[in-house]
Amino acid sequence: MGVPSFYKWLVGKYPNIVVPAKEEDEAGAGTSSPSSRGDEQAAGPNGVYHNLYLDMNGIIHPCFHPEDQVYPPKTFDEVFAAMFEYIDRLFHVVRPTKLLYLAVDGVAPRAKMNQQRSRRFKAAKDAKDAELEEKILREKFRAEGREVQPRETHEVSDPNVITPGTEFMEKLSKALEYYIRSRLNSDPGWKGIKVILSDSNVPGEGEHKIMSFIRGQRSLENYDPNTRHCLYGLDALRPTQPENCIPLSKELFKTEDSSRKCRGWLPRMTETTPSRDMSPKKPYQFLNIWVLREYLELDLKIPNPVVKTGIERLIDDFIFICFLTGNDFIPHIPSVEIHEGAIDLLLEVYKQAFNKMGGYIVSTEKLKDKHAAYLKVSRLEKFFHELSLCEEKIFLKRYELRERLQRNLVRRSAEEWKERNYGNMLSFTQEENPDGPDLTVKSFSTNCGHCKSVHRDPPQGPLYDVVRY
């Protein structure tokens, strides 16, 4: 249920909430078990973590269609091998001492199915169109006498198979079961670790299953409140996560070497022997939830509040208003885009409208009540009203930006502008449109005649060409 670009905004605004994860050499990783270490405080280079939770879809997708590999996998077995390597690396970074929980997305809730279905059908249509285009090009090349290589077909071609109920997901479940048994029997670092696999046959999203499991554990009488949890996944960030719950993610903002960007991959491919993964591994980051909560407490401070405020309730409202930017369950409001500073705007509007609303928008204590009693609709309506007052400025700013970008196409010089204007806007050159100036003059004549006739084309070209011709 991730909010697009939310993590990027969060780390950009509060850079101190992330801590680089330390990784030891693979040769020394996984050589000691929790029982042999004696002192549990020395469990790993990043401190003690008792439980590690993996939202597996955040691992499946990067391994199925990686963006940073020259030679992507072609078979399911190659995908599974990449996943096993991925999990091994995460395990060695965190070094859990008690539990490893692997959660694969099962059947999604109905609200997500609607958006998921539209994405699946669109992806299938795009793939069909691309295949038809390729077929036409192949026939054209054969007609021209060119050599056409046979079309490659492989298992890993359609990402739509990453859906509950498919053959791929069934094979994935069996592969994960094999992986777990193999590591428990052969890796000393897994000794004494309890492993739970919630595959795609269990309904619900991976992150939802993880959070439900943690809440269930916390409700037990013998639960240790000092248990430290670590979550990994694309949607693992929640400012209201339980105590001692730390998200882990890959670094998203590593600056790419400009020289490599210019050279591309060709020099490296010719200089070295090709391998399955020619790109360096991205480092991981731990995100400190408590530091984030302190930042939010400062930024959500309400001036002269009409009711007593508390950080828990303020964060609940913050999470709710962030839903307006859209997620897998609800469409986003068109005027609210994170890359345009939407979350900062939502925060300011919320603080200004808090007293007008009369208090908080949501009450999590009533989440299970019927008729959406946890949501104060009248207060939400006032918040929407205050937010709607900003929409006109947002749309006007977008329009001005588009106009500015359009003007940049024709700014360099007068002569270049005239030629580019035809090429970019009208799809022909000055010489190919000798009737343009004549149509321009006729349009003025028509206007003087009270617009009783309509020309087949609108006035085209600058006045320079009207005078020229």
Domain range list for the chain: 6-108+164-252+273-290, 300-395, 415-468
Query: Long-range contacts of range 112-118, CB-CB < 8 Å, 24 or more positions apart?
Result: 112/1, 112/205, 112/328, 112/329, 115/328, 115/329, 115/331, 116/328
Question: How much is the pLDDT for 280?
Answer: 63
CATH 3.40.50.12390 at 6-108+164-252+273-290, yes or no = yes
The three-class DSSP label of residue 289 is helix
Question: How much is the pLDDT for 27?
Answer: 37
The three-class DSSP label of residue 335 is coil
Question: Could you give the C-alpha distances from 147 to 134, 137, 139, 142, 151, in angstroms and in order?
Answer: 15, 12, 11, 7, 12
Contact predicate 298/311, CB 8 Å: no
**pLDDT tens for each residue of 114-158:** 777 777 788 778 888 888 898 898 888 888 888 888 877 777 878
What's the token pair of residue 316?
């609940």
- For strands 284-287 and 229-232, give the pairing: unpaired
pLDDT band at 248 (very low <50, low <70, confident <90, very high): confident
Among the listed residues 225, 234, 228, 171, the one whose alpha carbon sits nearest the alpha carbon of residue 199: 171
Q: What is the mean pLDDT of residues 20-44?
A: 56
Would you state the torsion angle of the CA atoms of residues 203, 83, 234, 125, taken in this order, to the nearest 10 degrees? -70
Report which secondary-structure segment, H or E, holds 286.
strand 284-287
Rounded (5°) CA angle 312-318-320:
105
d(C-alpha 201, C-alpha 199), whole Å: 5
Percent of the chain residues past pLDDT 90, beyond the cut:
32
Residue 6 in this model has a pLDDT that exceeds 90: no
**pLDDT tens for each residue of 44-96:** 788 899 999 999 999 999 999 887 777 788 899 999 999 999 999 999 999 99
Positive or negative, the Cα torsion across 400, 405, 411, 415?
A: negative
Among the listed residues 143, 95, 97, the one whose alpha carbon sits nearest the alpha carbon of residue 286: 95
Residue 177 in this model has a pLDDT that exceeds 50: yes
Residue 40 in this model has a pLDDT that exceeds 60: no
Contact predicate 52/233, CB 8 Å: no
Q: What is the mean pLDDT of residues 283-300?
A: 90
Q: What is the mean pLDDT of residues 31-51?
A: 63
Alpha helices in 187-325 (DSSP H): 206-218, 258-263, 266-271, 289-299, 311-322
Predicted model pTM: 0.74
**Beta-carbon-side half-sphere exposure of residue 266 (alpha carbons within 13 Å):** 3
Question: Could you give the C-alpha distances from 141 to 91, 128, 132, 137, 153, in angstroms and in order?
Answer: 50, 20, 14, 6, 20
Residue 39 in this model has a pLDDT that exceeds 50: no
Report which secondary-structure segment, H or E, holds 232.
strand 229-232
d(C-alpha 458, C-alpha 339), whole Å: 36
* Amino acid identity at 98: K
Contact predicate 188/36, CB 8 Å: yes
